[in-house]
Amino acid sequence: MFTRRGGRPLNDKELRWLVREQGISAVPHGFRSSFRDWAAEETDHPREVIEAALAHVVQNRVEAAYARSDLFERRRRLMDDWAGYLAGGSRGSDGSVDPP
């Protein structure tokens, strides 16, 4: 998501430096936490989709054995809603966020 020229991702140290240089009083992990809180409190997206979007591993071995889908399309819709929220969009009647 955060890249430098050429598309190479920023490492953790570079991202922390960038946030500090911009005068943002937050830590990079807070972005993930903010997303998690927003998704749980403001949307109807299923927990497993939210957790997959955060790349969290299913801890229960039996559940993990049956979880074969990457939930790509459902994660895409979740991230579209997140992008709309960040852009200041409004919430639709179905709970989705429409871009401004």
The amino acid sitting at 49 is V
Of 28 and 88, the structure prediction assigns the larger pLDDT to 88
Has residue 93 got a pLDDT over 50? Answer: no
* CA gap 48, 57 in Å, rounded: 10
**pTM for the full predicted model:** 0.66
Has residue 18 got a pLDDT over 80? Answer: yes
Sketch the domain layout of the chain as residue ranges.
10-88
Between the CA of residue 64 and those of 51, 56, 58, 67, what are the distances in Å? Answer: 13, 11, 5, 5
Of 52 and 100, the structure prediction assigns the larger pLDDT to 52
Has residue 50 got a pLDDT over 90? Answer: yes
* CA gap 56, 48 in Å, rounded: 9
> Over the stretch 27-47, which tens digit does the pLDDT of each residue have?
887 888 899 999 999 999 999
User: Which of 21-25, 82-86, 89-93 bottoms out in mean pLDDT, i.e. has the lowest?
Assistant: 89-93
* CA gap 26, 65 in Å, rounded: 37
